[in-house]
Amino acid sequence: MAAETHCPYCALQCAMTLTPTDAASATVATGAAPAAPVTVAGRDFPTNRGGLCKKGWTSAELLAAPSRLTAPLVRDADGALRETTWDAALDLVADRLRDIRSQHGADAVGVFGGGGLTNEKAYLLGKFARLALGTSRIDYNGRYCMSSAAAAGNRAFGIDRGLPFPLTDLDDAETILLLGTNVAETMPPFIGHLSGAQAAGGLVVVDPRRTATARLVDDGQGLHVQPAPGTDLMLLLGLAHVVIAERLVDDAYVAGRTTGFAALRRSVAQWWPERVQSVTGVPAATVRAIARRLASGGRTYILTGRGVEQHVDGTDTATAAINLALLLGLPGRPGSGYGTLTGQGNGQGGREHGQKCDQLPGYRKITDPAARAHVARVWGVDASEIPGPGLPAIELLGSLGRPDGVRALLVHGSNLVVSSPNVAEVRRGIERLELLVVCDFVLSETAALADVVLPVLQWAEEEGTMTNLEGRVIRRRPALAPPAGARDELWILHELAMRLGSTADFDTDPEAVFEELRLASEGGIADYSGIDYALLDSGAEAFWPFPRGGTGSPRLFAERFHHDDGLARLVAVAPRTGARPAPSPDELTLVTGRLLEHYQSGAQTRRVPELLGAQPDARAAIHPATAARLGIADDEPVEVRNERGTVRCRARLTTDIRPDAVFLPFHYGDEQAANLLTSDAVDPISSMPEFKANLVRVTRLVETGAES
């Protein structure tokens, strides 16, 4: 029977229909991969309108991947991972966790979650960490994705929802400013929503690379701006300067709906366009032209992505983009707005219900006594039993194996040794652990290092809900039965909690877990209490906040913002001296990012033959002029290195990159892991690592047996 569900990849959550095939258990010719057990068809849905990208169309192939895990693995005395029974694996994990907690305390156990988990799994994982394990040491890979945008949104608006309006609102836009996002490759169906701005010549793309998204402005359909990497904050300050200096501010909006204008005006006074040009490389005339276009009075949107947020000043950069939007009166104005593009499939829902080290369900602060009391009532415990705030991801990983740090780590939905910054240091931390337990459906690079690997379900085999980049809650429905040896993570958490002697309830039924999530979120910022499976099954739209007995909120900010006084905050920000070192003459700035064919750490897409065949390995994109100076030819092997590590790959010469930069995709592991080179320095507000502006040297690599 066909199942209506959604794509397993990005936060568009494109709708698809999965139909089981007669060849579900058959294999093709010897040596070939098993036949896909379902066929994929695009389904009409506001984000994708029936379309899918390469990843979506090929997603069924992963269900039949030969590398699929179907039995628990335990590392034996010889260091090899061997299959075992579920009882043996879970008993071992529970025994080791008890011993470590007994010797070193509850915070010696850590949990690392993921932005691809369903809402139900994310919620129960947070509850499991705090009640069954008693630890505060939980965080998730969304810290690498949305933390700066979330921090900026919370302090400006009092709420963090990626898009505070439906994606279809963009269709009629006349001007869209895209900052640091390559939607044409990361979420291709998105570009259908840019056609109005393209036709009006108002699509403005800010990116140091000439990406597929930047090429959308060819033929006079907009403008591509290539600032020096790491200078987005200064560009945004310059745009705000022009808006104020040329009296383009929406004065009535700023006076009636915001606070902080005087301080903001003083803070941007020193960022006149010519100074911005000297720092960013963007011509002063272009800075003025962009500001005037944004203030032209038409339907205008400002959208940010990871390219401007994954920095040590990412929160301030996202804040500067929000300030610009508020000066122009965009948020809450019909036909206009500001938003940030969530990347991971459940990046929005995954950060709302308890995976973050400082939050409880409903986007509640874990330090708030009222929030703690509410969640404690739902959980049936005393509020004192809920630990306080823990450590954000980089601090958590930095504590691995330390005397007073985390000695056992449970990983759910994350590939740490590919996706984390300063990967070599993360690997060293993992080697110091007394216990590493990884839940995954393939042997990812992180799972390959584990003491215990627990095989879990894939998206087409599980029931649950997801929350997409619009704040729209949607249903994930199973299309086929999982392999006999794989288990749902709700079941795994239940079994471990029982073995650890927890008296809290850990239900294994997704709908029952969602019902509990509804209660726990009720009254919080991310209130899901008015949503249930019956509502979602009816096809009704469900945008949070959706209070019990009320309606959903597809568009926020029409009348007020979510601070107590209803006003948005204009927050003065400025570049921090010494935030990042200046490059020496022989250094380039490393920019990392995605490819069309791959997703995140590549643990899934590198197992799909068509996708891997199209992009089998990492390539370092270098400008031809830079390559000539360095004596590098196209397709030659190179080393990209700094004090943290070395990446070995081949060069790809292209004028799409600035001469002072080099681009590496982050989808590959081992010696091609781009994050061997990235810094674990973090934004002081969001704890977002510096992924996008690290200094490296690139040299030609002489292969063994080759002439120098």
Please write the tens of the pLDDT for every residue from 309-342. Answer: 999 999 999 999 999 999 999 999 999 999 999 8
Position 581 confidence tier, pLDDT thresholds 50, 70, 90: confident
Q: How far is CA 153 from the centre of its chain?
A: 16
| pLDDT digit string, tens, across residues 251-274 | 999 999 999 999 999 999 999 999
Tokens of 531: 């949503």
Residue 708 has pLDDT above 60, yes or no: no
Tell which CATH architecture fits domain 147-340.
3-Layer(aba) Sandwich (3.40)
Tell me the per-residue pLDDT of 497-535, one tens digit each, with 9 for 90 and over: 999 999 999 999 999 999 999 999 999 999 999 999 999
pLDDT band at 343 (very low <50, low <70, confident <90, very high): confident
| Gap between the Cα atoms of 330 and 561, Å rounded | 13
Q: Which two tokens stand for residue 567?
A: 């006003």
In this predicted structure, the answer to whether residue 360 has a pLDDT above a threshold of 90 is: yes
DSSP helix/strand/coil, 205: strand
Residue ranges per domain, the chain?
3-64, 73-145+346-537, 147-340, 588-700
CB 648 within 8 A of CB 639: yes
Checking if the pLDDT of 121 tops 70, the result is: yes
pLDDT at position 35 is: 80
Question: How much is the pLDDT for 704?
Answer: 61
pLDDT in tens, 148-189: 999 999 999 999 999 999 999 999 999 999 999 999 999 999
Which run of H or of E encompasses 197? helix 195-199
Summary mean pLDDT of the chain: 95
pLDDT at 23 (0 to 100) = 58
User: What pLDDT score does 28 carry?
Assistant: 36
CATH topology of domain 73-145+346-537: Rossmann fold (3.40.50)
Ramachandran region, residue 380 (left: φ > 0; alpha: ψ -120 to 50; beta: rest): left
pLDDT score recorded for residue 27: 41
End-to-end alpha carbon distance in the chain: 61
Res 552 pLDDT > 90: yes
Q: Quick one: CA torsion of 542, 546, 550, 556, rounded to 10 degrees?
A: -90
Residues forming beta bridges with residue 112, ordered by sequence position: 139, 411
> What sign results for the dihedral spanned by CA atoms 134, 137, 140, 143?
positive
Give the CATH H-level superfamily of domain 3-64: ADC-like domains (2.20.25.90)
Indicate the pLDDT class of residue 577, thresholds 50, 70 and 90: confident
10-57 pLDDT, tens per residue?
Answer: 999 999 999 999 754 444 333 445 688 999 999 999 999 999 999 999
Residue 451's nearest CA partner among 410, 493, 492, 393 is: 410
- pTM above threshold 0.85: yes
Topology of the domain covering 588-700: Barwin-like endoglucanases (2.40.40)
Under the banding of pLDDT at 50, 70 and 90, the label for residue 685 is very high
Return the half-sphere exposure (C-beta side, CA atoms, 13 A cut-off) of residue 24.
Answer: 13
At 99-110, the pLDDT tens digits run 999 999 999 999
Q: If DSSP states are collapsed to H, E and C, what string results for 448-516?
A: HHCCEEEEECCHHHCCEEEECCCCEEEEECCCCCCCCCCECHHHHHHHHHHHCCCCCCCCCCHHHHHHH
CA atoms within 13 Å, Cβ hemisphere of 270: 9
